Amino acid sequence: MSVSFTRRNILSGAAAGLSSLVLPSLVHAQAGAAHVVVVGGGFGGATAARYLRLHAPQVRITLIEPEKRFYTCPFSNMYLAGLRSWDSIGHSFDGLRAAGIEVVHALAENVDASTRTIKLSTGQTLRWDRLVLSPGVDMRWNALEGYDAAAAELAPHAWKAGEQTRLLRRQLETMPDGGIFVMAIPENPFRCPPGPYERAAMVAHYFKQHKPRSKILLLDAKDNFSKQALFQQGWKALYGDMIEWVKQSDDGQVMRVDAKALEVETAFGTRHKANVLNVIPPQKAGFIAERAGVANASGWVPVKADSFESTQVKDIFVLGDATIAAPMPKSGFAANTQAKMAAAVIAADLLGRDKPVPSYANTCYSLIGPGYGISVAGVYRTENGKIVEPAGSGGVSPLDSNAAYRASEARYGEAWYAAMSADIWDR
Ligand code: FAD
C-alpha cells in the first residue's frame, strides 16, 4: 500500500464530488479509478468489502483492520462454556485478499471529510471516494463509577472478542466451586441485546459440569430483556435456581464498581461481592465515528434508512453496532445485511445503475444448553425515511416447544454461524 495522492485519484475524487451536479457520465466512466476505503474487518466492514467487490470488480477497495485474525463475539459464549475452541471462532483475512481486496492491518486514526482522506496508525494517509465505517462499539469508561480500562483487566467485560474473553474464561476456570459469578448488564442500546442472557446460560452450563455449587447473579439496568420468557424457561429447565436475575426496579442497576475488591454497588446502595465479576458497561460507536464527524450527541451514528449513508457527512457510510438503526438490533446478522445494502448503493452510485430497493433482516439464535436453542427474527423495510418492521413479519420461537424443536434451533444456530463465516471471511 502506498499513499494514494496520485493524479488519477485526485481527478477521480474531484469528479466524484461533482457527480450529482454536472459530470455523471465522466464519473461513471472513471468508476474503475474510484477508491472505497472500509474501516473495520468485522461483520459489517468485511461484508461491505466483499459485496462491493462482487458488484463492482473494477473499483479499488481497501479494508483497514488492526487485527490479523478476527474473533467473533457470536459463539464466544460457547467458548466460555467449553463448547467451542478459541480457534474455531477466529477468521483470517486471506479470503478477502484472494478476492482482490487490499487488507491493511492498521488502526484508522482520523478522517478528514473535506479532503476525503483517512490517516492510519502506520503514518499512511489514504484518499477515498467513498468511505465505509463499521468500527463496532467502544466502552464508555467511567459511565459506571470506577470502571475503566484498568478495571476491565480485573473485571472483564468480554464484550469484544479477544484477550478479554480469554481472561474471563481463565477466571471461571480458577473460581472455586460454590463461588458466585456476578454480571452487570447495561440499559439499551447496547451490542447484542440477548448476549448477556446467553452468557449466563453458557456459564451455568460450565458450572453444572465443573462447579455445581456455584451461583450466577445478573444485575440488570433494565426491567425486561430480549427473549425473556424463553430464556427464563430454559434457565429453569436446565439449571434450576442457579441463575438469579435482578431487574432494575428491584435494585438491579449497578452504579459503581470496585474491580480490585470484585465488588459492585447498585443504585439503592446494595453491595455485591463476586468471585468472578463480569461488567458489561454502557457503550458508544467506535471512536473513529466521532473523529469522522458522523456520531451525534448520543455517541451513536444517525444514518439514512435506505443506504446507511451518514445523515451528517456525505459519502461516508456507517454500518452495524455503531449506527442508530432501531428497530434493528445491534447484531452481526443486522450488520451483514446493512453492509450488503450499502455495498449495492455505493456500486449503483459509482457505476450509474439504479439504486436497490432497501430491505434488511436479522435472526439471533441463542444457545441455552447443548441441543437447546431459541431465536428471534425480524425483517425490515423503509417507510418515510425510517426503518420499520412490518407487523407480523418477525417473532421469537414459541414458548413451551418440545425438545426436538429446541434441538433444531440449536442446529440452526450452528448452521447460521457456519454460513455467516463463509459469507464474510472463510471463502
Ligand atoms: P465488529 O464486528 O465488532 O467489527 C468492528 C471491527 O472494526 C473490529 O474488528 C475492530 O478491530 C475494527 N475497528 C474498530 N475501530 C477501528 C479503527 N479505528 N480502525 C480500524 N479498524 C477498527 N450477533 C449475532 O448476529 N448473532 C449472535 O449470536 C451474536 N452473539 C453475540 C454474543 C456476544 C457475547 C456479543 C458481545 C455479541 C454478539 N453478537 C451477535 C453481536 C455482534 O458481535 C455484533 O453486532 C457485530 O460484531 C457488529 O458488527 P460491526 O461490524 O458493527 O462490529
CATH of the domain at 394: 3.50.50.60
CA of 72 to the centre of ligand 1 (A): 7
Do 151 and 258 reside in the same domain of the chain?
yes
Q: Ligand 1 pocket, 118 CB below 6 A?
A: no
Nearest Cα neighbor of 36 from 136, 133, 109, 124 is: 133
User: Confidence band (pLDDT; 50, 70, 90) for 59?
Assistant: very high
Q: Which ligand 1 atom lies nearest to the CA of residue 67?
A: 11
Q: Which ligand 1 atom lies nearest to the CA of residue 335?
A: 49
For residue 31, the model assigns a pLDDT of: 63
CA of 312 to the centre of ligand 1 (A): 23
Which grid coordinates are listed for 97?
485478499
Of 222, 255, 281, which residue is a domain's last?
281
**What type of residue sits at position 378?**
G
Do 147 and 134 reside in the same domain of the chain?
no
Do 355 and 231 reside in the same domain of the chain?
no
Do 129 and 159 reside in the same domain of the chain?
no
Total tally of structural domains belonging to the chain: 2
Q: Is 395 left (phi over 0), alpha (psi -120 to 50) or beta?
A: left
Q: Ligand 1 pocket, 286 CB below 6 A?
A: yes
Of 248, 281, 314, which residue is a domain's last?
281
- Edge-to-edge, what's the strand order for the sheet holding 180-185? 243-246, 215-220, 180-185, 276-279
Q: Ligand 1 pocket, 70 CB below 6 A?
A: yes
Q: Which ligand 1 atom lies nearest to the CA of residue 161?
A: 36
Length of the chain: 427
Do 380 and 321 reside in the same domain of the chain?
yes
Of 265, 281, 297, which residue is a domain's last?
281
Q: Which ligand 1 atom lies nearest to the CA of residue 74?
A: 30
Do 270 and 312 reside in the same domain of the chain?
no
Determine which residue's CA is closest to atom 4 belonging to ligand 1. Answer: 42
Q: Ligand 1 pocket, 65 CB below 6 A?
A: yes
* Residue 102: partners with Cβ closer than 8 Å, 6 or more residues away: 1, 60, 61, 62, 63
Rounded to the nearest integer, the mean pLDDT of the chain is: 93
Predicted confidence (pLDDT) per residue in 215-273, tens digit: 999 999 999 999 999 999 999 999 999 999 999 999 999 999 999 999 999 999 999 99
Gap between the Cα atoms of 67 and 350, Å rounded: 29
Q: Ligand 1 pocket, 329 CB below 6 A?
A: no
Determine which residue's CA is closest to atom 12 belonging to ligand 1. Answer: 40
| The pLDDT of residue 88 is above 90 | yes
Do 186 and 116 reside in the same domain of the chain?
no
Gap between the Cα atoms of 357 and 336, Å rounded: 16
Nearest Cα neighbor of 80 from 191, 248, 207, 241 is: 207
Do 100 and 184 reside in the same domain of the chain?
no
Which grid coordinates are listed for 159?
464484550
Nearest Cα neighbor of 304 from 266, 369, 349 is: 349
For residue 30, the model assigns a pLDDT of: 58
Do 177 and 292 reside in the same domain of the chain?
no
Q: What three-state secondary structure class fits 366?
A: strand
Q: Which of 3-12, 117-126, 175-184 has the lowest mean pLDDT?
A: 3-12
**What domain range is 230 assigned to?**
142-281
Which grid coordinates are listed for 288?
473513529
Q: Which ligand 1 atom lies nearest to the CA of residue 333?
A: 25
For residue 311, the model assigns a pLDDT of: 98
CA of 250 to the centre of ligand 1 (A): 31
CA of 203 to the centre of ligand 1 (A): 21
| The pLDDT of residue 20 is above 80 | no
CA of 73 to the centre of ligand 1 (A): 7
Q: Ligand 1 pocket, 234 CB below 6 A?
A: no
| The pLDDT of residue 22 is above 70 | no
CA of 212 to the centre of ligand 1 (A): 32
Angle formed at CA 60 by CA 55 and CA 65, multiple of 5 degrees = 100
Do 74 and 164 reside in the same domain of the chain?
no
- Arithmetic mean of pLDDT, 194-214: 98
| The pLDDT of residue 115 is above 80 | yes
For residue 183, the model assigns a pLDDT of: 99
Q: Ligand 1 pocket, 134 CB below 6 A?
A: yes
Q: Ligand 1 pocket, 333 CB below 6 A?
A: yes
Q: Ligand 1 pocket, 364 CB below 6 A?
A: yes
Do 242 and 314 reside in the same domain of the chain?
no
CA of 418 to the centre of ligand 1 (A): 17
Gap between the Cα atoms of 27 and 25, Å rounded: 5
Predicted confidence (pLDDT) per residue in 364-409, tens digit: 999 999 999 999 999 999 999 999 999 989 999 999 999 999 999 9
| The pLDDT of residue 3 is above 60 | no
Do 128 and 184 reside in the same domain of the chain?
no
Predicted confidence (pLDDT) per residue in 290-346, tens digit: 999 999 999 999 999 999 999 999 999 999 999 999 999 999 999 999 999 999 999
CA of 423 to the centre of ligand 1 (A): 16
Predicted confidence (pLDDT) per residue in 158-167, tens digit: 999 999 999 9
Nearest Cα neighbor of 287 from 158, 142, 136 is: 136
Q: Ligand 1 pocket, 321 CB below 6 A?
A: yes
